[in-house]
Structure 1
Amino acid sequence: MKKLLVLFLLLNHFCFAKTFRRLKFFDASNKAIHYVGRIDCSNPELPRFWSPGVYFYTTFVGPDCYVVLNDEVNYGVMHNYIEIVVDGKPRRIMLSAKTDTVWVAKNLSKGKHTLLVCKDTESGIGYLEVVGIGCRKLVNEKDSSKYLIEYFGDSITCGTSSDLSQTPCGAGRWEDQHNAYMSYGPTVARALNARWIISAVSGIGLIHSCCGMKITMPQVYDKLMLRNDSIEWNMNKMQPDVATICLGQNDGIQDSTKFCSAYVKFVKTLRSKYPNTTFILLTSPMADENLNKVLRNYLLSVQKEINNEGDKNVYHYFFKKRYYHGCDGHPDVDEHQQIAAELAPFIKQIKHW
């Protein structure tokens, strides 16, 4: 029995080695590989990104394909999760090494197949670098997305603490329940045939962040990884058609004048960067009854002031219920789909998409 197992492993290794050799390798700068999100492309051979939800996509010719990624392995122990989507079918995996060769397709048909790889984990888990893709051939086909939506927010928007499919709450590490791809933002975008950018980080607030965090969103919104020590992100690179702002959960109930004034100022700052973008101010999907009531009043006041000053391209949306069945009171993956099911029709209505 042992000899048979060894023989099987040797044959399996031989088959994959043979497959590996017959595939061509295309480095990360290949024009058939398209990138979306806050990405450091100072070295085009190794595009680097931290933010959850950053993704790249391409079309490859089957039957086999692999991706090579560098994982920062922050603090020597943290590994990023990624979503691999082949022909529209997603699967989530955790990387396991400093450099990972991930087989994304095996023994598919010999025709064309779509591939999308999305970073599921937050900035604090560390960066990813794309080394390249191995396959028979890459085909330079851009997706059919007509629009771009950016989502400013906190851990909810990141999809943190939402995915319990592999590790239950209270087990494993913090990053084990991250799933940006299945969070409400990308889900809305896919429903509306749009690309997405997640500009969010756990714990952050508008004027008060939680958990000892010393930054707020207005201080870091224009940084590559939304940290003070991060390099600046050129916001002219990708002008969104719509930008949502989902802040306030970590602020809690604040002085109304102080909070609303800061919110108005933040929207005006974003407007200076995005002159044609439609802004939507969101309540927190996990807010309790007291915070939800306060946030509704805040957002109505903020929108009214901005509209009265002549900017009519600012709206609000109040979520209909509380979503809190993930870890630490966050929405779980199913609830993110429900949140998206609320928000997508509203965006479609106001934008006439």
Structure 2
Amino acid sequence: MRMILLLIACFCGTLPDRVNLLPASALHPFGRYILTPAGEIELIGSAVHFGFQFSGAGCAVYLHLADTAGHQYVQYELDGVYQGRVRFQGTAPLLIRAGDRGVHTVWIYKATEATSGPIFVEKIAGQGLSALQRPAAPVIEFIGNSITCGADADTSATPCGAGQYSDYHNAYYAYGPRVARALKVNYFLSSVSGIGIYRTWNRDAPSMPAVYEHADLSDTGRRPWDFARYRPAVVSIALGTNDLSKGDGKVARAPFDSARFVGAYVKFVRLVKTKYPTARIALLSSPMVGGADRELLQRCLTAVKTAIDPLYPAAQPVALFFFEPMTPGGCSYHPSVKDHALLAAQLEPFFRRLLVE
């Protein structure tokens, strides 16, 4: 079956008669992605991104989906300025004016998460094309749930309840990418909506430990993630919101088990340490959890730190960050784009300190 094709054209007027082609295999994506046997780039994780330059009249980026009935979102920067989210399905091209005929820089980001499905990059057409790499800088991996994904955050195009779950994703403006841009470091997201450290928001499975080693962050995935691709200086883990969830009332759900939570969390941190022995581990609480549950989560995270630190006496101790209480303004009690800016402002000095200690 013919896959959906998207043409994103960046130009003033029309494309020049003579264009060059830059194959996807020549790009340098950053984040969770796979180079397919066909030489395409499969964008998987939230905020996975790639950059390139073009000159002259414009450029064309060829993307497609495996789901011919679905739609997806990308976000992009043009010459360092964020341009917004782009919804695409079918074959209709989207034209974006570059403003002049000089040399232009583009960074394209996957706005949606892994469970929304991959976006495939085939090639870029234009003049003066060259692939960009991220500048050398420390790397932060942000592990988490829907908050880390930037899910249910952006209602600028679709009011809450009027669209599909992916219609509200804005990974570019989630707290992790915001913090990374502020600190001028590189980052990638390993995040899944609804997931916890030992259960999901309404079921017993999957959990983050069950999906983390799979490239597509799925418990049914068969492709392993290549942990040698990046060497994070800091690994940020923000889980617990969904373990504490009371569920949807449709599936029987046992009360929160703090001993099981702490035990699973300790085991997961040890797994992460096998992948990145020198990384500083940071445990974040949840801005969506308040009252007694907030205090319970903080005690549990403190217990994880207490258990982990003696296991790695030569390493920097686990760092803890507890969010201030928040009444989220996004859909389904999630932080909005504006809320993520507030979360990032809280987190910036915390991560800045971790990167220099």
Fold shared by both chains (TM-score > 0.5): yes
- What are structure 2's unaligned runs of at least 5 residues? 1-11, 245-254
Aligned position for 2:4: none
Task: Answer yes or no: is the 8 Å Cα contact 1:148–1:196 preserved in 2.
Answer: yes
Confirm or deny that 1:54 pairs with 2:52: no
Deviation for aligned residue 1:312: 2.9
Cα distance in 2 for partners of 1:24, 1:118 equals 23
Partner of 2:264: 262
Are the aligned partners of 1:157 and 1:183 in contact in 2 as well (CA < 8 Å)? yes
- Mapped pair 1:114 → 2:105: yes
SS of 1:77's equivalent? coil
Residue type at the aligned position of 1:55: H
* CA shift for structure 1 position 145: 4.7
Q: Deviations over 1:208-234 (max 9, x none)?
A: 212336210111111111112211111
- 1:101-141 CA distance string (max 9 Å, x none): 544x4353333222111111122221111111122112354
Query: Structure 1 residues 62 and 277, CA, compared in 2 at 3 Å: closer, same or farther?
Result: farther
Deviation at 1:183, TM superposition (A): 0.6
Greater shift after overlay, 154-163 or 122-131?
Answer: 122-131
1:3-14 matches, cutoff 5 A: none
Q: Please show how residues 68-217 of structure 1 align to structure 2 within 5 Å.
A: 68-73=62-67, 76-90=68-82, 91-97=84-90, 101-103=93-95, 105-212=96-203, 214-217=205-208
Mark the CA change 1:250 to 1:141 in structure 2 (over 3 Å): closer, same or farther: closer
Distance 2:204 2:52 in 1: 37
Further displaced range: 257-266 or 131-140: 131-140
- Superposed structure 1 runs of 4+ greater than 6 Å apart: none
**1:192-341 matches, cutoff 5 A:** 192-212=183-203, 214-230=205-221, 231-252=223-244, 254-309=256-311, 310=313, 311-341=315-345
The separation in 1 between residues aligned to 2:109 and 2:138, in whole angstroms, is: 18
140-149 or 60-69, larger mean C-alpha shift: 140-149
Alpha-carbon shift at residue 148 of structure 1 (Å): 1.2
Cα drift, residue 21 of structure 1: 3.1
Q: Could you tell me which amino acid in structure 1 is paired with residue 20 of structure 2?
A: K
What is the TM-score with the length of structure 2 in the denominator?
0.87
Aligned-residue Cα RMSD (Å) equals 2.0
State the one-letter code of the partner of 2:258: S
| Candidates 344, 348, 351, aligned match of 1:347 | 351
Contact in 2 for aligned 1:71/1:95 (Cα 8 Å): no
The percent identity for this pair of structures is: 34
Partner of 2:33: 39
Match of 2:19 in 1: 23
- In structure 2, the residue matched to 1:3 is none
Counterpart AA for 1:26: L
For the residue of structure 1 that corresponds to 2:206, the secondary structure is coil
Aligned length: 332
CA change 1:324–1:306 in 2 (3 A) is same
Q: What is the Cα deviation at residue 81 of structure 1?
A: 0.6
SS in 2 for 1:259: helix
Q: Calculate the TM-score normalised by the size of structure 1.
A: 0.88
